[in-house]
Amino acid sequence: MPYRGRLAPSPTGHLHLGHARTFWIAAERARLAGGTLLLRNDDLDARRFRLDFVEAMLEDLGWLGFAWEEPVIAQSARLPRYRAALAKLHAAGLIFPCTRTRRDVLEAVAAPHEGGADDEPVYPPQFRPPADAPLPPLGETVNVNWRFRVPDGEEIVFSDGKFGPQRAVAGRDFGDFLVWRKDDVPSYQLSCAVDDAELGITEVVRGADLIKSTFRQLLLIRALGHAAPAYYHAPLMLDERGERLAKRHDALALRTMRERGVTPKEILGQFERETMLP
């Protein structure tokens, strides 16, 4: 199967040096495998999405010399695909409606959760409806989130192209997770799993902060009857204090660097020197 990779930025801020490094690794892996690269615009989060960030993203990627052969894929144009996937999960009884707030969940988790700051706590099992409870039809429920019921106790494994064997136990390391939000938008987990599977991606290259999401996405991909891609998680770039780069590090935004006279050659040259592929 020919290699097919993707870059999947979210237009919720300006791209920074850390994005460039992950994207460079993705592009190198596609190039070395003689494959193709897609650009996916993860533009579903209407609360944080901004059109000027999409333009800036395309401009920054072009400035660095990234290229893709096929038209850019906007997630906002693929809602019917995600809805079809949701219907499939619903028909298989793998999801349930949830009216709990984020706060309810946080208050109910007994132990302070140990995941990273960005990770969600394990969904309290007492909030789950019984497995045999009849599901309300989709579309007739208002103000509910839909969650995926994880197979408690099952060990999910995958071999990461960079970090080697990875394992997590469903229900212990991560719990029932969001697939559809009450504002009628698919979650990142669902849209990403559907796209990676349906767009024929053979290897997903992204930041190491998403390793835990991979377990969730593997469950979704399996439930939807697709074959899973390979995964390669790129080590995160840290700032001088050892914290991961975030969109708030304005000095490391690609556009700021460009304004200060840094060239793409300098940036990519640095990646080439410091990054040992694969």
User: Which is closer to ligand GLU, CB of 68 or CB of 96?
Assistant: 68
Residue 20 touching ligand GLU (CB under 6 A): no
CB of 139 to ligand GLU, least distance (A): 27
Stretch that binds ligand GLU, among 7-15, 76-84, 108-116, 268-276 (CB under 6 A): 7-15
Q: Which residue type does 39 have?
A: L
Is the distance from CB of 98 to CB of 104 less than 8 angstroms? no
Sequence-distant (6+) residues with CB within 8 A of 234 are: 21, 22, 25, 26, 162, 205, 206, 207, 208
Stretch that binds ligand GLU, among 5-13, 144-152, 222-230, 247-255 (CB under 6 A): 5-13
Residues 201-260 close enough to bind ligand GLU by CB under 6 A: 206, 210
User: Which is closer to ligand GLU, CB of 129 or CB of 235?
Assistant: 235
- Of 162, 158, 223, the C-alpha closest to 189 is 223
Residues 30-59 close enough to bind ligand GLU by CB under 6 A: 42
Q: Helices (H) and strands (E) in the chain — how many of each?
A: 8, 11
- Of 71, 75, 110, 116, the C-alpha closest to 208 is 116
User: Which is closer to ligand GLU, CB of 42 or CB of 176?
Assistant: 42
d(CA 99, CA 123): 13
Residue 192 touching ligand GLU (CB under 6 A): yes
Q: Pairing relation of β-strands 36-41 and 155-160?
A: unpaired
Residue 190 touching ligand GLU (CB under 6 A): no
Is the distance from CB of 130 to CB of 175 less than 8 angstroms? no
User: Which is closer to ligand GLU, CB of 145 or CB of 191?
Assistant: 191
d(CA 216, CA 12): 23
**Both tokens assigned to 236:** 């995160």
Which of 10, 145, 189, 191 is close enough to bind ligand GLU by CB under 6 A? 10
User: Which is closer to ligand GLU, CB of 98 or CB of 253?
Assistant: 253
**Residue ranges that bind ligand GLU, judged by CB under 6 A:** 8-10, 42, 192, 206, 210
